[in-house]
Structures are given as structure tokens and as C-alpha cells.
Structure 1
Amino acid sequence: MKADYKLDKARSVSYTKLALSFLLTVFKLLAGFFGNSTLLLADAVRSFSEFVNESVKLLDLSIANKPEDKSHNYGHGKIATLCLGGGACVLLFAGFHTFSLGSEQLLMFIQGKESEGPETIALFAAISAFVSRYNIFAESYELQTSKTSSKGRIHIKGLFASGFIILGIGITFLPGRSLGIADSLAAVLLSIYLLWTSGRLLYKAADELIEASLDEETNRKIREIINETEGVTGSRELKTRRIGKGIAINACITVHSSLSIRETSEITNLVEESLKVAFGESAYTLIKVEPSPLKNLSFQNRSRPS
């Protein structure tokens, strides 16, 4: 019951953040266009990246967490990865566009050409976005436990980014001709960050879609768990991949050839249960057994991991 309440609460907060991200994206686009602020247009792209992030979270809470069926033997985790890749492509395109706009204005400034600075509406929009983000952060703070403390850091980074937008636009209203270029300069810097973010997301999505193996440290941990299981004399082939939030593990272990089928099955079950304890019940495990040339090692069934 308590777990269901937390899940419903998390889903409710995600819906709120999703709606806010969409509204902020549209609001910043309009304010940036009519307020003549390239920085605010770039910030609209950042809000869109948050919209994509929340969309993926909701997919994880709904479709991606659905159990496997006859036509989806490994569940539905790839749908979230696919949507993440699509959103990253849009983010990459938008990042290039805002980078181009900011660079063009910087070039005009270097050439000594006059360019219009942001209007007051742009500064008002940036401040409004900061206040909205702060309110959502305060509302969802109660969900930030030690397990999800990284989410709190992400929100704090967002608040700092919003403050950077206000600073970049606000500087242009100070006296001095050279300060008017602060909006374009900050837009270029933010666009570079967005391009890096979109590239990282694309790499992550592509890596999962082409069935890339898990990182070396995780694979090493898997081998340690397998080799430390009672009755296992060694491990050979190991294949791993990520499926949404879960992982799939295909491993080959060796046991003494004198063991019976029942004893071999018990060892296999111990290996699978140990892996699920370490990586969660959603982990898919397939263990192949081969005979070992080593001398017989007595296998005594011990208590299963809890």
C-alpha cells in the first residue's frame, strides 16, 4: 500500500513537471521571439529537454514497466529508450539552430554592426520561469530520499541554469554598448551545453538499441557473483545488455561433471537468485551449464540469498 502511494505520488509529480516543461517551452519560445532574446530561445530548448526527460519517466512508470507477454518476451523497456533517442534528435537540431543564431549575432558585434538587445518581456519571462521552477522543486522535495538524491541535484542545477538566464538577459539592460552582446554570448554557451547533452543522450539511446554490453565494472561484478556461488567451479562466456531500466544476463558456468541434474539445477538457481538480489527482480537471467575438468568438489545446498 505504501509503495503504491509513493508510485502514485511520483506519477502525479511527473505529470505536473511534464505540463510545466511544455508550458515553459512554449512560453519561452514566444517570449524569446517577441522579446528579441536568443538566450531565451536557447532556454526554451533546455525546457524541451526537460519535457523529454519527464516523458521518458512517465513511460517508465507506465508502458516500460509492463510485464513481458507473448509478443514481448523481454518486456517493453525499449519504448522509453526509443522515445529518448527521438527527443535527443529534436534537441540536437534545436541546439544547432540556437547556436547558429547566437553565433551570427556575435559575428555582427565583432564587425561593429548594431543589433537590437532583448526587450523587457524577455527578462520578465526568465524571472517567471525561475519562480515556477522553484515552486515545483519545493513541491517535489519531499520525494527526494537517499535513493533519489541525484534527482535533487538535477533540480538544483536547473535552478542555477535559470539564474544564469536571468543574469545573461539582465546584463543587457545595464549601461554600456558592449554589454548588449551578453544575451548572444550566453546563448552560444548554453547551446554548446545543449549540444553536448543531446549528443550524450543520443549515444546512450543508440548504445541500448544496438544491444551494447554493460560497462566493464558491472560485468566484473556479475562474474564475481557467479564465481562465488557454491558449486560453481568457474565462468566462461558472459553476455549482457540493458533493457530499459532492467538488464539481461546470459552466462555460462562450469560445474563438476559428477554432479546430478538436480544438483546442477540447484546451483543454477542459486546463481540466478544471487544475480536478482544484486540487480533486482526485473533482471533477465539465462544460465548455461558445462562440465568442469576439475576434481570433484562437494556441493552442499545452503540457504538461499534474501
Structure 2
Amino acid sequence: MPAYMIEARVIIETIRQMVKSGLFPSCYREFRKFLEDFSWAFFGDYLLLKAYRRYGLPSPSYALLVSKEWYEWRDNKKLMLNLVNARKIVNELYNRLKEKYPNLPGKDKFWSIVISEVTFPSFVFLFGKEICGESLPREVPRYLLHAQITPYATKDFEHIGEVLNLPNPDTFGKDVIEAIGRMRNGANKNSAFIIPPYPANDLVMILVEKWSGVKGLKAKYDEYSTFVHSYPESWLVFPFSSVIEVKVFKKEIMEIENIIKELWRAYLNILKAKSKHSSKKKA
């Protein structure tokens, strides 16, 4: 989040200068960038802080992992994790578990619980790509599957078993690990490393909405997609030449302000949340 704050200040100052020049379409583009950056920072820190609170595990933040090189590598390998793909993976996991655990809730509730309770290791294990000795660009992150990810992912899935009120959450955790392995055709038996999934913006926005409880984040982000590519002919030559445009802009500023305030409150609540690891350490 500190790295995001530096860029956020630059974006805010850019918006101020554009407002003075009456370049409203460009302001909306910056709004979109602001929401995108904030969401990525929230997304990364949420997974990081949950892992630390549970296990004292210093996981990295997604916001610091992303890079142009990883993005391009992911694009070439067709490894984008969007909302549709994520739901498909969780639904397949559900189908594999349902036979042994007939009391599982419906698919939508199962998705909701899984996504609410994952931390960095379980998110990576569930959606990542396992590899053996494949040569990777230096910028593509990878983790030791059996040392850094699987043990903590298993504990996360055990915790999900508890949330689901299953009689043997320990067994459930192991069954989830095995089910995901079968979904990958047993790849995890021979794989040494796992690459975290590179999430698409739509997935990041949806998860941040769920984790933060802030409604309308993705809808507002999508509204501004029209202004991603601005053209000189769409700009206003004279500042504030349109009264309607200024009034609309004022309304948008207020809506954006409310969303950002809610996100900040949710983020601060994450920071204030009690750490199980810290509690055990003090005891």
C-alpha cells in the first residue's frame, strides 16, 4: 500500500491539473486508474495480511509482484485468471468434493466461502500453475510448491472445512489438496514450483468488492472504460464550457469519494484485525 500511496498522490495532482484545464474525459481515465491501483493494492495486501495473521507467513503482495514481463509471459501462455475461469475451477472442485461431502452448500455459497477464506498460499495453490524444471523469465514469480505453499494451503482448506461445519475439517483439507491435484492430472506429485495466477482486473475488482463490502466498485470502474483512450477532438478547448458536464463531473467526484472512503475503512479494518500468530507469540 505505501507504494500505491505515492502513485495515488501523483494521480490526484494530475486530476487537479486536468480539471483546471477542463479536460474532463482525461479525468475519468485517471479515476479509473486510481480505482484500479487501489484495488490491486487492497487485493494483494488482503491475501498477504490474512496469511500473516494466521501463520506469521511473510507472503508477498500481489501489487508488488506484477510486472510488464510477467504480464507478457502470462499473455503468451494464456494464463489469465478472470472471473469466469476462477468460477469454473471452484465449480469443478465442488463437483469432485460433493460425492464425499453431500452436505456441502450450493455452488454459489461454496464459491463465496472459499473466496472469503483463502490466503496467499491457498489462492496460489488453487489457481496457480505447477511447473517442474521449466525455464522462466526472472520476473515471473515462483514458489517452492511443497515447502512454501502446500502446507499452508492445506491449513486454509481445513479452516474452510470448519466454516462449512464439516465433521472432519482436517480430512477435508487433505481431500481438497488431492482433488486439486487430480484436476491437474496429478501434476503436483512431480512439480517443484508453482507460479501464482495473474488475475484479470475484473476478478480483482469482484474480490475486493466482496472482501471489503464496498458495492459498486467494479460498476464504477467499468463505467469509465469509455475514457481509457482519449482523443484530442473529444477534449474541451475552454475550461468549464459545458455546465452539464461540470455538474456531471461534480456528481462523479462525490461518488468516487464515497467509494474510496469505504475502501479505506475496509483496509484499515484489515490492519486492525487481531493476528492469531501474534496472540500465540505473546502467550
Give the TM-score, by structure 1 length.
0.23
Ranked by relative contact order (alpha carbons within 8 Å, sequence separation 6 or more), the top structure is: 2
Q: Highest Rg: 1 or 2?
A: 1
Q: When you count strand as a share of all residues, which structure comes out higher?
A: 1
Q: When you count helix as a share of all residues, which structure comes out higher?
A: 2
